[in-house]
Chains A and B, each alone.
Chain A
Amino acid sequence: MINVTINGKEIQVPRGTMLLEACRQAGADIPTFCHDPHLQLAGSCRMCVVEAKGRWNLLASCVMPAENGMEIETESPSVVEARKIILELLLARHDLSCHTCERDGDCRLQDYCYRYGVKESRFAGEIIHFSKEDPNPFIERDYDKCIMCTKCVRVCKEITGAEAINVKDRGHHAAISTAFDGNLADSTCVFCGQCIMVCPVGALTSKVSMGKGKPYQVEKVLTTCTYCGTGCTLELNVKDDTVVGVSSNRDERYSPVNQGALCVKGRFGWDFIHAEDRLTTPLIRKNGELQPASWDEALDFAAAKLKQIKEASGPDALAMFASARITNEENYLAQKFMRAVIGTNNVDHCARL
């Protein structure tokens, strides 16, 4: 264990602890754009800089291990000055259109500008514009809002393993791009949307959710994905009793299987829920046609038929296909129904198909 003093408060941390962690442990709120506990460190956004007594420059706390006896200030004048200037530098190239932005209300750039009172940028000058054109139905790429934190690049490589995107060009012209600066669909991208998940601003958003609700308007309901057997947990985003998107919780406790990572189906395959042709009323075949019926009518009809077949041909003339899609509770009731009510073991589901 080593001792560090943070904003006058002395704490003990294990050797090797990064300053960021130590500062947070001491209750200091350190802003970050590029830091992500699940990804390799970048140390590049420089928002997390802190002042250490006796050092000529500020230290990026996310990549600087705490040293014994360090005395750290996390909001000293030069720290605040640096953060403000960095924010202003970012704003100078940013398409600041919060009112129509999908991330309005859940955006680190907004939050930190608010926190440091940065209303506008003193650096007025050239703005490089990027094309938003990328014909894919999943991901909106608006690099006029990108702050170059490279989290998307890292998550794509380290979590998904697709390596679809990287930083191209240098200096002020550096930008996120696919291998040949082409469309995502022509790259190795698998549209997992992990990049959307980590983007701290509105540069990467879901086209499927676009315009359907701002972050503070939606309620997030943790549940389990309805597709393959991996059992990823995800959050359904709900607004006005309608599912408007999917996000994911990266906390191991709430996402023990996938730690927030999803595939294209889990992240983008949810709007079938409100598909126009959802069945919303019982149907009974009358004169060869399926026609809407009331619940009582349909249930009575089905019950009568079941009773009739059971009585005429015995319970084994009936069978049920339950489902690998419905819940445990429903499957349990389904087989209980066949066994206890109908009296047959003719119950199966498509486990094998």
Chain B
Amino acid sequence: MTNSIAELEKDAKAIFLIGTNTTENHPVIGYKIRKNVRENGAKLIVADPRKIELAEIADVYMRFKPGTDVALINGMINVIISEGLLDQEFVDQRTEGYEDVAASIAKYTPEYVSTITGVPAEDIKKAARIYAEAEAAAVCYAMGVTQHSTGTDNVKSICNLALVTGNLGKPGSGVNPLRGQNNVQGACDMGALPVVLTAYQKVVDEPVRQKFETAWKVDKLPDKNGLTLTDAINKAYDGELKGLLVIGENPMLSDPDLHHVEEALNKLEFLMVQDIFLTETAEKADVVFPGVTFAEKDGTFSNTERRVQRVRQAISSLGNAKQDWEIICELSNRLGYPMKYSSPGEIFEEIRTVTPSYAGISYDRIEATGLHWPCPTEEHPGTPILHKEKFNRGLGLFHVVEYIGPAEHPDNEYPFILTTGRQLYHYHTGTMTRRSSALEEHKPYNEVEIHPNTASRMGIVEGEFVKLSTRRGSIELRAKLTDILEENVVFTTFHYKEAAANLLTLSEPLDPVAKIPPYKVCAANLEKI
């Protein structure tokens, strides 16, 4: 997030939610948004293929066809430009590339966009006006925006929207991705990415490597970009990748097109898994290390608003389980590179020395309240709002983004659009929530949401098992009738291994930049059994 969570409750005068079912996936942020709308009269725009809970209190709700995000946002920008609602001063002084975007946007009239997205032109105009005219407007988005073959484009178009209206760098504004997992932000910050080291320092940069080579006392660090998760799976499938180490992930459930993943893992020479449960992935491993839960460890998580907060050990490691950091150290020691730390605190001290944005953060400083990075020095108060005076690169760069339709379209054989996501009571692949007695008791099985008209046409009743299939596979799960989605759209979650949605989803085409698979949209068929 460029801005902080608290601003969504207090400072934002308009909030635009796209592709985030906030009250289910980020409930506490959902509470705050609702509070702002109800108590302070903040305006709310919701764009989502499903009429999610917050749509009920929205000033404008836009139900758009899955995968048409770019068109929708370009449509809003078109209205803003044509109605003169742009922040000219901001565009002039703080951005570049506007002219090209303005030219490319001309054809995305609300009327044209309406034919692509299915959203009435009037609503697009209304949404654009609310967003542009607010003193401070924030956009929040989540996986609904990024999990597409055009995910990066979607995000760029959102940035364009914020740039034309000057909604960056001030309280209550911003481009705010709501991160799905507790420490996605931190994992990225720490360089658990194939192209960057900590704090997004590029592996291809010689000086960066030199710095780390010195710090880590190694001769030479690898200088070419590594494989992304999805590339790695493909390489394993092709037999080029021989060994895979998996720490606390479950690609056998979370990754798209699970059959493909399974075959890929089968081909590996060596699979090492470190986890708290014998996950579907661990079951395939050659060696499994028992790690510990958050309750058993010390350390830090960085949340979606870049706030670094403490995790504290509450109980001792269960049984023979070892601290995850100790396992890595032990391996390293055996491979001839001694890693000696006495505690996570000591590791954090090392992190600070090589991570400029974390340099000013220490366990002492975040004993009570966490700090927002960048926090370059011990005296620095942290940075809840990014891009205040200038952007990292100086001027904010507009990107021309053209609408490209989703990869797979419904046809006679697969007439429905399937979109996937989460629900309130479970989390991710369910490893933890499905072992939490109350959550599991409350929501023990997966459901596919079907519009009542579709259901009655097909003779499907509430709670009945149906078969949901795509070109990649099929699952059987219960029908849930709801008119929050359109008649040709169905929705399900990926929390349940016995009805794993990712058996159905597409692994390709990946978003060309972020390499995100297009979970959110694929063609599907529904059958009564």
Say which one of B65-73, B130-138, B173-181 lies at the interface with A. Answer: B173-181
- B residues 167-218 in Cβ contact with A at 8 Å: 178-195, 197-198, 203, 212, 216, 218
With beta carbons under 8 angstroms apart, the residue of B270, B303, B350 that contacts A257 is B303
B272: chain A residues within 8 A (beta carbon): 302, 305-306
With beta carbons under 8 angstroms apart, the residue of A161, A207, A290, A312 that contacts B438 is A207
Q: Separation in Å of the A105 CB from the closest CB of chain B?
A: 20
With A273-B295, A285-B287 as contacts: A253 and B369 at CB distance below 8 Å: yes
Contact of B411 with A by CB under 8 A:
no
User: For the complex, what is the distance from the CA of A327 to the CA of B345, rounded to whole Å?
Assistant: 12
With A224-B182, A258-B28, A348-B232 as contacts: A303 and B331 at CB distance below 8 Å: yes
Contact of A275 with B by CB under 8 A:
yes
Whether B295 contacts A270 by the Cβ 8 Å rule is yes
A318: chain B residues within 8 A (beta carbon): 241-245
User: For the complex, what is the distance from the CA of A159 to the CA of B36, rounded to whole Å?
Assistant: 11
B330: chain A residues within 8 A (beta carbon): 295, 299
Q: Separation in Å of the B492 CB from the closest CB of chain A?
A: 16
A33: chain B residues within 8 A (beta carbon): none
User: For the complex, what is the distance from the CA of A252 to the CA of B31, rounded to whole Å?
Assistant: 16
Q: Separation in Å of the A192 CB from the closest CB of chain B?
A: 7
Contact of A2 with B by CB under 8 A:
no
User: For the complex, what is the distance from the CA of A201 to the CA of B99, rounded to whole Å?
Assistant: 63
Contact of A52 with B by CB under 8 A:
no
A312: chain B residues within 8 A (beta carbon): 242
Whether A330 contacts B328 by the Cβ 8 Å rule is yes
Contact of B476 with A by CB under 8 A:
no
With beta carbons under 8 angstroms apart, the residue of A225, A243, A331 that contacts B192 is A331
Whether A236 contacts B295 by the Cβ 8 Å rule is yes
Q: Separation in Å of the B431 CB from the closest CB of chain A?
A: 8
User: For the complex, what is the distance from the CA of A268 to the CA of B224, rounded to whole Å?
Assistant: 45
With beta carbons under 8 angstroms apart, the residue of B5, B26, B277, B348 that contacts A277 is B277
Contact of B515 with A by CB under 8 A:
yes
A230: chain B residues within 8 A (beta carbon): 5, 26-29, 178, 303-304
Q: Separation in Å of the A135 CB from the closest CB of chain B?
A: 10
With beta carbons under 8 angstroms apart, the residue of A236, A272, A283, A337 that contacts B436 is A272
Q: Separation in Å of the B35 CB from the closest CB of chain A?
A: 6
Main secondary structure of the interface of A (DSSP, over half): mixed
Contact of A284 with B by CB under 8 A:
yes
With A257-B307, A279-B275, A321-B229 as contacts: A307 and B335 at CB distance below 8 Å: yes
With A280-B290, A321-B251 as contacts: A349 and B194 at CB distance below 8 Å: no
- B residues 306-355 in Cβ contact with A at 8 Å: 307-316, 318-322, 324-325, 327-332, 334-337, 339, 344, 347-348, 350-351
Whether A238 contacts B314 by the Cβ 8 Å rule is yes
> Chain A 269-299 against B: per-residue CB contact (8 Å), 1 yes, 0 no?
1111111011111111100001001010011
Whether A295 contacts B322 by the Cβ 8 Å rule is yes
Q: Separation in Å of the A335 CB from the closest CB of chain B?
A: 5
Whether A279 contacts B311 by the Cβ 8 Å rule is no
Contact of B92 with A by CB under 8 A:
no
B193: chain A residues within 8 A (beta carbon): 335, 347-349, 351
Q: Which residue of A lies closest to B328 (CB)?
A: A333
Whether A138 contacts B249 by the Cβ 8 Å rule is no
> Chain A 327-353 against B: per-residue CB contact (8 Å), 1 yes, 0 no?
111111111111111111111111111
Q: Which residue of B lies closest to A188 (CB)?
A: B53
User: For the complex, what is the distance from the CA of A306 to the CA of B439, rounded to whole Å?
Assistant: 39
A340: chain B residues within 8 A (beta carbon): 212, 216, 218, 221, 337
Contact of A112 with B by CB under 8 A:
no
Q: Separation in Å of the B8 CB from the closest CB of chain A?
A: 11
Whether B247 contacts A334 by the Cβ 8 Å rule is yes
Whether A320 contacts B435 by the Cβ 8 Å rule is no
A275: chain B residues within 8 A (beta carbon): 277, 435
Q: Separation in Å of the B210 CB from the closest CB of chain A?
A: 13
* Most interface-central of A222, A327, A337, A349 (chain B CB within 10 A): A327
Q: Which residue of B lies closest to A353 (CB)?
A: B254
With beta carbons under 8 angstroms apart, the residue of B232, B287, B302, B350 that contacts A319 is B232
Whether A351 contacts B188 by the Cβ 8 Å rule is yes
With A265-B427, A271-B437, A322-B247 as contacts: A224 and B311 at CB distance below 8 Å: yes
With beta carbons under 8 angstroms apart, the residue of A138, A264, A320, A323 that contacts B424 is A264
User: For the complex, what is the distance from the CA of A256 to the CA of B312, rounded to whole Å?
Assistant: 16
Contact of B147 with A by CB under 8 A:
yes
With A238-B314, A278-B319, A330-B325 as contacts: A271 and B436 at CB distance below 8 Å: yes
Residues in chain B within 8 A of chain A (CB atoms)? 5-6, 23, 25-31, 34-35, 38-39, 146-147, 151, 178-195, 197-198, 203, 212, 216, 218, 220-222, 224-229, 232, 235, 240-249, 251, 254-255, 269-270, 272, 275-278, 282-283, 285-291, 293-305, 307-316, 318-322, 324-325, 327-332, 334-337, 339, 344, 347-348, 350-351, 368-370, 424-427, 431-433, 435-439, 441-442, 514-517, 519
Q: Ordered nearest first, which 5 A-B pairs have the shortest CB separation?
A: A231-B303, A280-B319, A345-B226, A327-B299, A229-B179
Q: Would you give 10 A-B contacts (Cβ < 8 Å), ordered by A?
A: A224-B303, A224-B311, A257-B6, A285-B287, A302-B287, A305-B272, A319-B241, A333-B329, A335-B192, A350-B251
Residues in chain A within 8 A of chain B (CB atoms)? 136-138, 158-161, 185, 190-192, 207-208, 219, 221-233, 236, 238, 241-243, 252-254, 256-258, 261-265, 268-275, 277-285, 290, 293, 295, 298-303, 305-307, 309, 312-313, 315-353
Q: A190-B23, A265-B436 are in contact. List 5 more A-B contacts (CB 8 A).
A: A256-B369, A278-B321, A299-B330, A327-B344, A347-B191
